[in-house]
Structure 1
Amino acid sequence: MKTIVVIGGSKGIGNAIVNKLLDKHKVINISRTTPTTIHTNLTHYGCDILKDDLPEITSIDSLVYCPGSINLKPISKLTLDEFREDFEINVLGAVKAIQKYMDILKKGEKPSILLFSTVASKLGMPYHASIATAKSGVEGLVKSLGAELAPTVRINAIAPTVTNTELASKLLRNDKMIENIVRRHPLKKILNTDEVASMAEFLISDKSMAMSGQIFEMDCGIVSFKM
């Protein structure tokens, strides 16, 4: 049984990851809100990643950083503070967690780190300037740390397309919007959180020991295909 720290595991993709891992691993969730899940393998610490000191943890095998943002506006409407806020939650929060737990993580069993990007870092999309900039920073971090931490610690990222979560609710608020988004994807679907959680489980498992510094696009074909 490994010890896996999930930051932002109370909602959305993070919560799906926590629930996917609980039966086989000890999971430590760090987030502002308490998860509704109750399990003997789950420990929760209430913490705002950007404001609070992270808890002291004595053993970690994998670190999963889930916090993110969807701030979609024309460039003329985006403020510099919004760019800073998106960068802080997506990049600097991840850096803070990695720096805090790196020494302990290096002592773990086949240790790994998992971060999250977005398809908007590869596919130019209007109104995505701030989030695409921030998530491109995440991808650069993955590439750089993949080289720096090899062979001790692996690090990868998942870049999902629109996923059915509370964070994406403004994009999926009615049937017409859902239909339009589904139509744009060659596989004619959007992601659900369990699909992303299954990929996360694989990437922090021993089955992916040959993979590091990689960005895995879960794009339903929107980046990969032109149809």
Structure 2
Amino acid sequence: MQAFQPKAFSALFDLTGKTAIVTGGANGIGKATALRLAQAGANIVIADLKIEDAKSAAKEVESFGVKALAVECNILKDDDLVAMVDKTVATFGTVNILISNAGGGGGGQEDPSKISVDDFRRDFELNVFSAWRLCQLCVPHMKKSGYGSIVITTSMSSINKSPDMSGYAASKAAVNHMVANLAHDFGPEVRINAVGPGATRTAALQSVLTPEIEARMLSHTPIKRLGEADDIAGAMLYFASPISEWVSGQTLFVNGGGVQTLD
């Protein structure tokens, strides 16, 4: 039996020459992920509604000696998704990594007696339909290139149970199961996984966080702090990199070992 020969450690996270799309990459978790992937050698496309923020983030990415492209993109518009992928391929020749991070919804404000079917549908358009469509657009390029990794941002709400979350939570639960099934469609050349952040210090959380809510969250969190964007970016890097080459169809929750909810 041949003795095990471990790969060089540096090769396990080496993304040199790879091209990564990061949606919602101008701020927060998306930006932290873009910077981590750039640090590993990937060229980065930052797709975001806020084009000036995207351009600023692209400059930071380039400080790692890689190339970056900022693209204005509304994930609810199919023409924007197609144009963004086309521009990526025209600029860099291919797509190897997709971080489908942009999303949203009305989580925490979805009183079922007050929201409409359109509100519920929008959660799915933001979090499920857009990610599925981006996969459809990117996978052919990934297969042709010989390297493909897709990571979709899901949420702890996909497994938590809380009031006023039915649409958002259901859409994120759909992401988890969609990922598990698409792994069978995309393999062996392309892997697909999901990262589910716990309570992470982003602008969205800060807008609703109070000292009382934070204290309740930490009372159920073994690692006694809230998450930072770079904590989530580390999980994104793991899935994007060769080190996870035998991992697909999985959802990894990054939550300090606990459960954090707003109620």
User: TM-score, length-normalised on structure 1?
Assistant: 0.91
2:191 equivalent in structure 1: 154
Q: Does 1:53 align with 2:80?
A: yes
For residue 32 of structure 1, the aligned residue among 49, 54, 60 is 49
CA apart distance, 1:109? 4.0
TM-superposed deviation, 1:108: 2.6
1:43 — aligned with what?
69
Distance 1:221-1:75 versus aligned 2 partners, 3 A rule: farther
Q: Which amino acid aligns with 1:204?
A: A
The correspondence for 1:76, drawn from 101, 113, 127, is 113
CA distance in 2, matches of 1:32, 1:70: 15
Q: Displacement, 1:142?
A: 0.2
Rg bigger for which structure? 2
Partner amino acid, structure 1, of 2:101? C
**Aligned partners of 1:186 and 1:114: how far apart in 2?**
26
**RMSD, aligned α-carbons:** 1.8
1:186–1:126: structure 2 CA closer, same or farther, 3 Å change rule? Answer: farther
Structure 1 position 78, deviation (Å): 2.6
Deviations along 1:147-181, one digit per CA (max 9) or x if unpaired, are: 11111110000111111111222332x33332232
Distance (Å, rounded) in 2 between the aligned partners of 1:126 and 1:209: 38
Q: 2:222·2:257 contact (CA, 8 Å) conserved in 1? A: yes
1:46-98 per-residue CA deviation (whole Å, 9 max, x = no partner) reads: 11111243320230111110012252123223321211111101011101211
1:12 maps to which of 22, 25, 28: 28
Distance 1:30 1:86 in 2: 19
Write the distance in 1 (CA, Å) between the matches of 2:167 and 2:141. Answer: 33
Counterpart contact for 2:139–2:148, Cα < 8 Å: no
- Cα distance in 2 for residues equivalent to 1:182 and 1:118: 18
- Aligned partner of residue 78 in structure 1, secondary structure: coil
The structure in which a higher percent of residues are helix is 2
Give the number of aligned pairs: 223
Q: Distance in 1 between matches of 2:146 and 2:24?
A: 22
CA shift, 1:115, in A, is 0.3
**1:117 aligned to 2:154?**
yes
**TM-score under structure 2 normalisation?**
0.79
Q: Which runs of 5+ in 2 are unaligned?
A: 1-15
Paired residue type of 1:171 = V
